[in-house]
Amino acid sequence: MHLPSFCLSLVFSATILGAIPSSTDRTHFPTPCLNGGWHNSIRLEMDRESGQSYVVRTQKERVDSIKFSRMVEAALIAADSDTGPRVFKVDEESQTLWMDYIPSRSWENDAVSPLACHEALRQLRRFHSYSRDTACHWYTDICIPYTDIFSRAQAMEDRCALPHQFKLAIDRLGSMLMESHEWLEVHSCLCHGDFHRGNALITGSLKSPEVLLIDFDDADWGHPYADVIKFLLPLERSRWPELFASYLGKQSGEPMLDEDLEQFHNMYLATLLIVATHRLEYAFERAKDGGEEILGKAEMEGFLDDLMLQEHPPSFLDIPYDDDTPQARQRGALYALHEFLVRSELSSLKR
């Protein structure tokens, strides 16, 4: 496999730990507990002589070779910083990785989750910090999640009638990016890109859990708090301050810097627009492909105007996600957009 020079240095520093035994020396066995998600197929292999178990991870659908190389590099960075499983072998042709098998516990165990959440965010910070020096060649001025939002918004504006409030929100996000430029020059880093509990393995004892990061398919240079917000979204908001403090390395009760709180707030707003753009895009694509009805521009604007009159409108998180009809996804997008408008103080702006 042709890796960047940084990756090659990792190989020779023993992050890739040696040759995998030939297929005749390996045992395949069923793994009902392993799930590769949307993008990957996963199986276990065991070396009959040493008893070493490997997770073998293969792309379900072949991706661009550059994207695969970047994903591998992110996995190697995690391994080298002790925040991810060790990588034993990479086969670029089949887009397959052999990694340490890490027996892990379920996040559903309430006795484990609170402590594990804190440790997951501390590990995320270690990964981010390590990557600033080792992955600086990934640096870009306009980073994730801004790149994704702007490109999707532009594509929709070119072919769809969007509510005027959406365009106001995109303009505001652009201003937020410009205001954050100096902060990002110092603090941007290699981000996981899809950091949620399903991509964090819990090991260790109940009282002292350890967490490893996995699945770097969406890794890219970006705002570090994008990963933090993605992890926190499903959790009760009352827990966000203490968990964010854990990410920052703060002790209990230790104050956080105003600039960190401001950037956290900005990234939450950006996440709301990620939700809005993805759900609107989904609705428009479904309507185009299947001929299903969608809300028109005036209907979406009226829906948002009605939300502005409600004292306590629901969060987009309260909208059932299992209803995948275009109009349901549009409403979910509009709830997220409404929250962006309110929290970014755009709700008073007129047409």
Render pLDDT for 57-98 as a digit per residue (tens, 0 to 9). Answer: 998 888 899 999 999 999 999 999 999 999 999 999 999 999
Render pLDDT for 126-179 as a digit per residue (tens, 0 to 9). Answer: 999 999 989 988 988 878 999 999 999 999 987 788 999 999 999 999 999 999
**Structure pTM?**
0.86
Vertex 102: Cα angle to 98 and 105 (nearest 5): 145
pLDDT at 12: 29
Domains of the chain: 5-100 (3.30.200.20), 113-343 (3.90.1200.10)
Query: Which of 1-15, 120-134, 225-239, 246-260 is predicted least confidently?
Result: 1-15
Distance in angstroms (rounded) separating the CA atoms of residues 11 and 9: 5
CA dist 173 → 112, 296, 309, 339, 340 (Å): 37, 24, 24, 14, 10
